[in-house]
Structure 1
Amino acid sequence: MAQKELMTGKKKSVDYEKVQSSPQFKQFLSRKKKFIVPLTVFFMIFYFLLPIFTSYTTFLNNPAIGNISWTWIFAFSQFLMVWVLSGMYVRKAASFDKEAEQIIHEQLK
């Protein structure tokens, strides 16, 4: 498309209100929400469980491996969780970007 713009010297402007009201864009947002909302809910629950468990229970204080308690394992797993969720999002965001570009391209036709 960029080559066509260079040849004609004209650049089509995108009518973002038209894009936003299109059924393809609404389906796109729905699919995006179905991915992002559950991951966010899982992250928030997993994140806040550590301070809740350490404040109101004692079972994480038990030794897991030698002198290392379950609290340390849970805390370390939060770092792993962030890396895994971030990796999942980065891969999925690439497909979201391609799909959004395709929707915008279709609106320019």
Structure 2
Amino acid sequence: MADAISPQDEGKSGPVRNAGVVEDQQTTLRDWQAIERDGEFRELVRAKRNLIIPATIFFLLYYFVFLIIVGYFPDIANASVFGNINVAYLFALSQFFMTWILMGIYVWRAGAFDRLVERIVARVRGENKG
């Protein structure tokens, strides 16, 4: 809190103690903007978006189909499969399996994302050294 301005300091002019910090933040901002314009970074964002958005939409539809069946088609939902186990119960349990499947697909694809990130980070660090 050494850089905080006290009421006694207000209105007094003096050396700016945060000039180096502000300059570093501006340099970092420029670095991030350059990375954001980079083709490989855009490829990474596009690849992640192409997986995450359809997976999210699919899961939400899958979930709402369950609610629609239970709410609007109770005869289907109450249909017995094994003794007291009905379609609604199995569909509800399938939500867990679907979550695990989607997670597995993401983890499988994350390897490609990680390789892209490693290339981007290596190039950025290399550029900053030279």
Which aligned segments of 4 or more residues in structure 1 are displaced greater than 3 angstroms?
A: none
Structure 1 residue 70 and structure 2 residue 125: aligned? Answer: no
Separation in 1, partners of 2:96, 2:46 = 29
TM-score, structure 2 as length reference: 0.66
Question: Alignment partner of 1:15: what SS?
Answer: helix
Larger Rg: 2
Separation in 2, partners of 1:45, 1:54 = 14
Question: Alignment partner of 1:38: what SS?
Answer: helix
Aligned partners of 1:61 and 1:70 also within 8 Å? yes
Structure 1 unpaired stretches of 5+: 1-12
Structure with bigger RCO (C-alpha 8 Å, 6+ apart): 1
User: Which residue number corresponds to residue 104 of structure 2?
Assistant: 87
Separation in 1, partners of 2:123, 2:68 = 49
User: Which residue number corresponds to residue 44 of structure 1?
Assistant: 60
Aligned partners of 1:19 and 1:104 also within 8 Å? no
TM-score, structure 1 as length reference: 0.77
Question: Alignment partner of 2:81: what SS?
Answer: strand
Structure having the higher helix fraction is 1
Provide the aligned C-alpha RMSD in A: 1.9
Question: How far 1:69 moved relative to its partner?
Answer: 0.7
Q: How many residues align?
A: 97
Question: Alignment partner of 1:64: what SS?
Answer: strand
User: Which residue number corresponds to residue 72 of structure 2?
Assistant: 56
Separation in 2, partners of 1:19, 1:101 = 13
User: Which residue number corresponds to residue 18 of structure 1?
Assistant: 34
